[in-house]
Amino acid sequence: MGLQCKYVAFLGAKCCLQHKKTFSFIDLFAGAGGFSLGLKNAGLKHVYGLDNWPVSCKTYVANIGTTICSSIEILEPPVLNLGVDLLVASPPCQAFSLANRRGSNAAENSSLYLHILKFLNLYRPKLFVLENVSGILSYKSKIGLPIIKLVKDAFSSDYNVKIFKICCSDFGVAQNRKRVIIIGVRKDINLFFPNLKKHPCTTTLRSFVLPRIEVSDSFFLSKKAISGIHRRQLTNGAKSYGFGAQYVDLDAFCNTITANY
Ligand SMILES: C[S@@+](CC[C@H](N)C(=O)[O-])C[C@H]1O[C@@H](n2cnc3c(N)ncnc32)[C@H](O)[C@@H]1O
């Protein structure tokens, strides 16, 4: 009799979960739970999230479930009774973001990803997925080495690692948001390496925006806030950093939406 397989669609690939009912995951640098929400909606079983920002942990608990509110730098991963099939992690992107100055904070943040290794070593998940901004592809370490190579080398001893550059609008989202997805498949596992299957977004911003009359004034920026945005746009533009602001075409995709407002 052949092996019984339960398949889970994962970034367009189909993974065979032999004799398992659900695929479990942990989410490091989980923030308010955007990544976890997608995984839960795809039918995966959440084990825990981790973030060091109490406000986002509170949101995570309300929307997703168990989270550990601690810095990954000091936390020893908890020993679990059940296995972890997938580890996802979105280390802070400020270090690599093209919209940010790559300053002192950046150097500190850019090595945070190394703390992910202790979770991989303990749980030995079948897969990991790291997510970051496209700036990670060009960022260099203090001694001039490409950070993407350092990341790939650090995660390659037990995992086959592949790097993808994607744009969210190629995957059903009305946003021109470019991201780098680093996928690792444990070397001893006979999993199909994901081929990213694009499904371009067929809607535009208009389908997400409510008619003006249905939205309370309290959700709109004040004149003062708008003039502040214009002012910062000019000063940031002069220094060549920072996200700009623009009026968007409702019949197109928008650029990356920042979390400020
Ligand atoms: C790019 S955001 C994560 C976004 C999240 N994955 C989502 O889908 O919404 C990075 C997160 O890393 C967290 N973070 C930064 N430094 C950290 C540290 N030392 N330990 C744990 N979390 C940290 C931040 O609080 C932030 O929520």
Q: Look up the domain containing 227 and give its range.
A: 205-255
Parts of the chain with a pLDDT under 50? 1-19, 101-104, 107, 261
Q: Atom 9 (ligand 1): residue with closest C-alpha?
A: 34
Q: Atom 10 (ligand 1): residue with closest C-alpha?
A: 92
Angle between helical axes of 116-123 and 147-155 (0-180°, round to 10): 20
Question: Bridge-partner residues for 51, per DSSP?
Answer: 69
Q: Which of 186, 217, 234 is the endpoint of a domain? A: 186
Same-domain pairing of 175 and 212: no
- pTM above the 0.85 mark? no
Residue 193 lies in a domain: no
Same-domain pairing of 163 and 108: yes
Q: Which atom of ligand 1 is nearest to the CA of 27?
A: 6
Residue 12 lies in a domain: yes
Cβ–ligand 1 contact at 113 (below 6 Å): no
Q: Which of 159, 186, 213 is the endpoint of a domain? A: 186
Helices and strands in the chain, H and E counts? 6, 11
Q: Which residues are catalytic?
A: 93
Same-domain pairing of 92 and 153: yes
109 alpha carbon – ligand 1 mean position (Å): 11
Cβ–ligand 1 contact at 71 (below 6 Å): yes
Cβ–ligand 1 contact at 26 (below 6 Å): no
Please report the pLDDT score of residue 14 as a whole number.
45
Angle at 229 (CA atoms; ends 133, 109), nearest 5 degrees: 30
Same-domain pairing of 240 and 156: no
Q: Are 116 and 90 in contact (CB under 8 A)?
A: no
206 alpha carbon – ligand 1 mean position (Å): 30
Same-domain pairing of 67 and 94: yes
Q: Mean pLDDT across the chain, nearest whole number?
A: 83
114 alpha carbon – ligand 1 mean position (Å): 14
Residue 199 lies in a domain: no
Of 28, 29, 76, best ligand 1 pocket probe by most atoms within 8 Å of the beta carbon: 29
Residue 196 lies in a domain: no
Give the CA count within 13 Å in the CB-facing half-sphere of 95.
22
Same-domain pairing of 13 and 70: yes
Same-domain pairing of 160 and 228: no
Tally of CB atoms within 10 A around 112: 17
Residue 195 lies in a domain: no
Cβ–ligand 1 contact at 49 (below 6 Å): no
Tokens of 240: 């060549």
Contacts for 42-47: CB closer than 8 Å, 24+ residues apart? 42/8, 42/9, 42/10, 43/8, 44/8, 44/86, 47/80, 47/82, 47/84
179 alpha carbon – ligand 1 mean position (Å): 16
The runs of H, that is alpha helices, within the chain are 34-41, 54-63, 104-109, 116-123, 147-155, 223-239
Residue 128 lies in a domain: yes
Same-domain pairing of 103 and 215: no
Same-domain pairing of 97 and 135: yes
Residue 112 lies in a domain: yes
Residue 121 lies in a domain: yes
Same-domain pairing of 216 and 165: no
Q: Are 64 and 40 in contact (CB under 8 A)?
A: yes
Q: Are 108 and 147 in contact (CB under 8 A)?
A: no
Total domains in the fold of the chain: 2
31 alpha carbon – ligand 1 mean position (Å): 5
DSSP 15: E
Tokens of 140: 């260099």
Of 27, 46, 52, best ligand 1 pocket probe by most atoms within 8 Å of the beta carbon: 52
Q: Atom 25 (ligand 1): residue with closest C-alpha?
A: 53
Same-domain pairing of 151 and 31: yes
Same-domain pairing of 87 and 137: yes
DSSP 140: B
DSSP 97: -
Going edge to edge, which strands form the sheet with 86-89? Answer: 67-69, 45-51, 24-28, 86-89, 127-133, 178-186, 159-167
Q: Which atom of ligand 1 is nearest to the CA of 89?
A: 6
| Cα–Cα distance, 235 to 237 (Å, whole number) | 5
Q: Which of 155, 186, 217 is the endpoint of a domain? A: 186
Digit-coded pLDDT (tens) for 96-129: 655 554 444 554 556 888 999 999 999 999 999 9
Provide the CATH number for the domain around residue 163: 3.40.50.150
